[in-house]
Each structure stands twice: as C-alpha cells, then as structure tokens.
C-alpha cells in the first residue's frame, strides 16, 4: 500500500508521500500563507474578531497532523518543492463522544474565544454522524490547500483521491469531510462522496457570538456540507 501511496500524482511532475516531522515548517507556511487567507470561515470570523487566534489554532492543529501518519504532501518531483497538502486524522465515534450543551459551549467560548465558533458549527453539522457510520474508524479531512502557482493542475483532486489509500491502510471504513467551499464540494462529489447534512450560511445563527456571523460569506459559497464516502 505504501508504494501505491507514493506513486506520482501527475505524470513525472508532481509526486506524493505521507507527511513526516521534517515537513513541519513547509506545511505551516502553506497553511498560513495559502489556506488561512482563503478560508471563508476564518475570513467571516475575522470581520468580527482578530484573525490571529484562528491562525494560531490552525497552526497548532497542523503540528498534530504532520506526524500522525494520516496526511499527504504533494511536491514538485524536479525541485522537491512542497506544493500541496491534505491534513487528516483518524477518529472513532463511541459513547464517550458526548456533545456539549449550549451552556457548556458558552462557558468554553469565554475561555477559548472565536476559535470555538467553527467548532460549534461543525458540531451541529455532525450531530447525526453516528447514525451514518456507527462506531467504525473513519478518516476526517480537515485542511487541504495547494500553492496558487500550481493551481488548475488537478493536484487537489489527486490528493483527495490518494487519501483513500491512506484511509484503507489505516483500517478506516469511511472518509468524512466538512466542506465549507463550493470548490471542494464539487471535487468531493465527483469522487463519490454523498452529502449527509448541510447548513446554509445565510440562515445559521451562531449562539456563541449571538450573530449570523456567516451571513455575508460571498458567492458562490452557500453552505457547509457533511460529505461522507464509504471505502
């Protein structure tokens, strides 16, 4: 399986491999320079709160993914340059995965601030995930980005497809993606993901900030979707 994971993504131009500890700086740079400035959820929150806590939160999450053996890097075969990344982790739902009630969320919000807003949104999106996948292992796709200079080459689609091999190798039976962008939703749909839940940005009232904080997310992005694929 490792050999198949490491096959080139695009001809002899773009390679692929699992992330290792030595990739930390490259991956952090891609997340801060290319993901955060274009992440519509972070941008919406940044209009009300400082972007700095969101960026710090995402960088910390990135550090966890670099060495968890479940994430992939795309690179230029000729130069070795890191050009794209997909960050994932393996999870399993069980009786210990109890969701917080509204009072608990608000108490956490006092301590952690705006970084909890997307967590609340995604928690609402995932309310019925257990009914779909039960207690089986699944791979959750959390962050994916490609350097703009390497756009429109099919790298993102290639990473999304290749991550299925990683999921199988780790014993997962499903891949789950909370997709906030119309573009990634289109890619996932072409790869056979099904939409199991959807929350429209215009109608979502965030109980933590007490506002419709995602109301003005620009077109063509209209909703966050819970996308699931059985593998």
SS3 assignment for the chain: CHHHHCCCCECCCEEEEECCHHHHHHHHHHHHHHHHHHCHHHHHHHCCCCCHHHHHHHHHHHHHHHCCCCCEEEEECCCCCEEEEEEEEEEECCCCCCCCCHHHHHHHHHHHHHHHHHHHHHHHHCCCHHHHHCCCEEEEEEEEEECHHHCCCCHHHHHHHHHHHHHHHCCCCEEEEEECCHHHHHHHHHCCCEEEEEEEHHHCCECCCCECCCCCCCCCCCEEEEEEEEC
Mean pLDDT across 186-197: 97
Query: Which tens digit of pLDDT belongs to each residue from 160-169?
Result: 999 999 999 9
Mean pLDDT across 98-105: 85
Please report the pLDDT score of residue 13 as a whole number: 97
* Predicted TM-score of the model (pTM): 0.93
Query: Which tens digit of pLDDT belongs to each residue from 71-82?
Result: 999 999 999 999
């Amino acid at each position: 399986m490792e050999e198949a994971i490491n096959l080139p993504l695009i001809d002899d131009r773009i390679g692929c491999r699992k992330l290792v500890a030595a990739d930390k700086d490259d991956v952090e740079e891609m997340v801060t320079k290319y993901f955060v400035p274009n992440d519509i959820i972070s941008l919406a929150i940044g209009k009300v709160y400082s972007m700095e806590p969101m960026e710090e939160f995402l960088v910390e999450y990135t550090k966890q993914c670099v060495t968890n053996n479940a994430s992939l890097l795309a690179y230029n075969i000729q130069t070795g340059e890191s050009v794209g990344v997909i960050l994932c982790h393996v999870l399993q739902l069980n009786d210990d995965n109890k969701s917080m009630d509204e009072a608990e969320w608000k108490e956490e919000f006092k301590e952690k601030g705006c970084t909890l807003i997307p967590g609340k949104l995604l928690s609402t999106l995932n309310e019925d995930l257990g009914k779909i996948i039960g207690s089986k292992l699944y791979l959750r796709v959390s962050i994916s980005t490609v350097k703009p200079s390497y756009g429109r080459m099919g790298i993102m689609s290639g990473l999304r497809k290749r991550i299925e091999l990683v999921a199988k190798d780790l014993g997962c039976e499903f891949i789950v993606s909370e997709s906030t962008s119309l573009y990634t939703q289109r890619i996932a749909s072409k790869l056979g993901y099904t939409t199991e839940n959807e929350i429209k940005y215009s109608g979502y009232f965030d109980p933590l900030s007490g506002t419709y904080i995602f109301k003005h997310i620009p077109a063509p992005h209209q909703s966050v979707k819970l996308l699931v694929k059985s593998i």
